[in-house]
Chain A
Amino acid sequence: MQRETRVVLLVLLLAGGALYLHTTTTTEEFSRHNIGWNGTSSLPAEEVRDLSRLDPGSTLLLLAPDRPFTPEEVGYLRAFLDGGGRVIIADEEGAANPLLADLGSEIRVRPGNLSSLERDYAHPGLFRGYVVGNDTLFAGVETALLNRPAEVEGGEPLIETSVLTWDDVDGDGRVGEGETFGRSVVCAREGNLIVIGDASLFINAMLPENPKFIENLQPVQIDAVHSRIGSRNPIINTLTWIAERPPAVAAIAALAILPVAWRFGRKRE
């Protein structure tokens, strides 16, 4: 019997491990809890939830924002920018355009299907952009591997594509009717505000492709409320909620320890 018990325990352990992995990770794009290729679990960044309490002079990253900003939050960001802080908005879908308008910037993100003929990979959306501007963020970086970026209008250009790039409207992978070649700007700057038209630079699979850029980024804080790095999974959200509140952690630890202590105490009597 004992041998079979051992086998059963082993199987239960394996199953428990699989269950743990299944419930505490997710496959949502850009999520911090996604350990797959399209998550941001490997991005070294500190999460902040309160925009009014930002360190002046630090860097704030807004990754693929999908929630609207209230006027107070826009005010805090404005104050942060004026105080010397740096804000990096990485957006591929144009959802940051209202925020950019509220901040008084003239930069806009124009989503499209930028494809390039000059590329290292078989996928037309995976190509290199060239650094043309001067910024500490791109110090020591000459090219950046882009992953289906969007075009950025306005501001001072920092990264440009090669001239053999076009917006593939019909998605057939080649230049057809009505599509023309031309350079596009995919990253622009206005003062302390940097807008990158490619949020995919920060996913797990892309981090080793642009190492110097990620290194220059540190230390960085990421806005956890407005960026799309959360998850819709209730279990993960509950665990995160508990982990943020030390009293709740203490309560759960007590809940686990008390029965054990009671049982051992009884046994001795």
Chain B
Amino acid sequence: MAGAKKYHAAAVLAVWLLIVTFFMILNRTLDLEVFFVLSLIGLLVVAVLIDGAFSRPRYMRYLGYVIIVEVAIFAYIVAEKILEIIAA
């Protein structure tokens, strides 16, 4: 199967996000920040698991960029929350 690992990774990520959405609906609260942070965690876990020691396939290259952008947004969210707590 061509690129089975790639499909596995995408499927796992999709299932994880579905589970997160399910629990958010159950809790009757849809919070974008929480969803984003949990998706980042999922992506990082998947990236670490599919990373082979000796190969650097194309998708891993671009995944690096995506991870950097998401970490930057995560740092922004955390900094905003800290400011909120200090101001209160």
B7 interface residue (CB < 8 Å to A): yes
Write the chain A residue with the least CB distance to B8: A3
CA distance A7 to B18 in the complex (A): 14
Residues of chain A with a CB closer than 8 A to B11's CB: 7
Residues of chain A with a CB closer than 8 A to B18's CB: 14
- Contact size class for B? under 10
CB-defined interface of B1-39 with A at 8 Å, one 1/0 digit per residue?
Answer: 100000100010000001000000000000000000000
- Contact size class for A? under 10
Residues of chain B with a CB closer than 8 A to A3's CB: 1, 7
Write the chain A residue with the least CB distance to B4: A3
Residues of chain B with a CB closer than 8 A to A7's CB: 11
State the Cβ distance, B17 to closest chain A Cβ, in Å: 13
Residues of chain B with a CB closer than 8 A to A14's CB: 18
CA distance A7 to B11 in the complex (A): 9
CB-defined interface of B36-56 with A at 8 Å, one 1/0 digit per residue?
Answer: 000000000000000000000
CA distance A3 to B1 in the complex (A): 10
CB-defined interface of A190-202 with B at 8 Å, one 1/0 digit per residue?
Answer: 0000000000000
CB-defined interface of A1-35 with B at 8 Å, one 1/0 digit per residue?
Answer: 00100010000001000000000000000000000
CA distance A14 to B18 in the complex (A): 11
State the Cβ distance, B56 to closest chain A Cβ, in Å: 25
State the Cβ distance, A148 to closest chain B Cβ, in Å: 21
State the Cβ distance, A78 to closest chain B Cβ, in Å: 45
CA distance A3 to B6 in the complex (A): 13
Write the chain A residue with the least CB distance to B18: A14
CA distance A3 to B18 in the complex (A): 19
Q: Could you list some 4 contacts between A and B, CB below 8 A? A: A3-B1, A3-B7, A7-B11, A14-B18
Using a CB–CB cutoff of 8 Å, the interface residues on chain A facing chain B are 3, 7, 14
Using a CB–CB cutoff of 8 Å, the interface residues on chain B facing chain A are 1, 7, 11, 18
